[in-house]
């Protein structure tokens, strides 16, 4: 079953927002540490807080995702 152009556009937007959130989270966590706020992360990413919460349950879930990605990159570099 083929997906429509509208669905493809939506999937691309979701992927862009997720990438923006991850990059923003890295910067905000590096700057603010444990005091980083979801509002600051969303603002730096250029998305609304609702967008962040649709993808992640909160700051801890976003941080955990960053850790998983970091471990995957480290593992790939080692191998």
> Residue 33: which region, alpha, beta or left (left: phi > 0; alpha: psi -120 to 50)?
left
pLDDT bucket at 1, cuts 50 / 70 / 90:
low
Q: List the domain boundaries for the chain.
A: 5-78
Alpha-carbon dihedral angle through residues 56, 57, 59, 60, given to the nearest 10 degrees: -110
Separation between Cα atoms, residue 62 and residue 76, nearest integer Å = 21
Q: The domain at 5-78 falls in which architecture?
A: Orthogonal Bundle (1.10)
Give the rounded percent of residues in the chain with a pLDDT score beyond 70: 99
Residue 72 has pLDDT above 90, yes or no: yes
pTM for this entry: 0.86
Structure tokens at 6: 């509208």
pLDDT bucket at 2, cuts 50 / 70 / 90:
confident
pLDDT bucket at 30, cuts 50 / 70 / 90:
very high
Task: Please compute the mean of the pLDDT values over residues 17-37 and round it to a whole number.
Answer: 96
Separation between Cα atoms, residue 18 and residue 47, nearest integer Å = 10
């Amino acid at each position: 079953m083929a997906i429509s152009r509208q669905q493809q556009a939506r999937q691309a937007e979701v992927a862009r927002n997720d990438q923006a959130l991850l990059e923003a989270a890295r910067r905000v966590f590096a700057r603010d540490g444990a005091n980083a706020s979801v509002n600051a992360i969303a603002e730096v990413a250029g998305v609304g807080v609702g967008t962040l919460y649709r993808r992640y349950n909160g700051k801890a879930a976003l941080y955990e995702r960053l850790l998983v990605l970091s471990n995957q990159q480290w593992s790939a570099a080692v191998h």
